[in-house]
Amino acid sequence: MGASKKEFFPEKQNTIATLCKAFGHPARVIIIEHLLFVNECIAEDFLEIIPLSRATIWQHLQELENARLIIGNFKENTFSYKINSLKIENVKSYFLGVSGKEKL
């Protein structure tokens, strides 16, 4: 398998591609939607709304955290998560721009 050749593309497009990849699974979309609704919650809360194992949910949280779409903090013997509003705004602005609603 060849290299991805990401270095041949502008940083902006690489960043958007990474963010879009983070949205590439329904569980991650549910996590984002839930955090947008509740503002902040602990990792265990996702066990009630996502029909996946704890380990799998943890992997999805890590993927979102690696893309910096969410922020995790260790709080009271568990991890608490919230949306990284700046990254969500970046995604929103990008798609508004390419759809012709806003100047890029």
What residue ranges do the domains of the chain occupy?
10-98
In angstroms, the CA 40 to CA 3 distance is 38
Kindly report, residue by residue over 39-59, the tens digit of the pLDDT.
999 999 999 999 999 999 999
Kindly report, residue by residue over 8-31, the tens digit of the pLDDT.
888 888 888 888 899 999 999 999
Q: How much of the chain, in percent, has pLDDT values that exceed 70? A: 92
Exposed/middle/buried for residue 69 (C-beta within 10 Å: 0-12, 13-18, 19+): buried
CATH number for the domain formed by residue range(s) 10-98: 1.10.10.10
The model scores a pTM over 0.85: no
Q: Cα 88 to the chain's mean position, in Å? A: 8
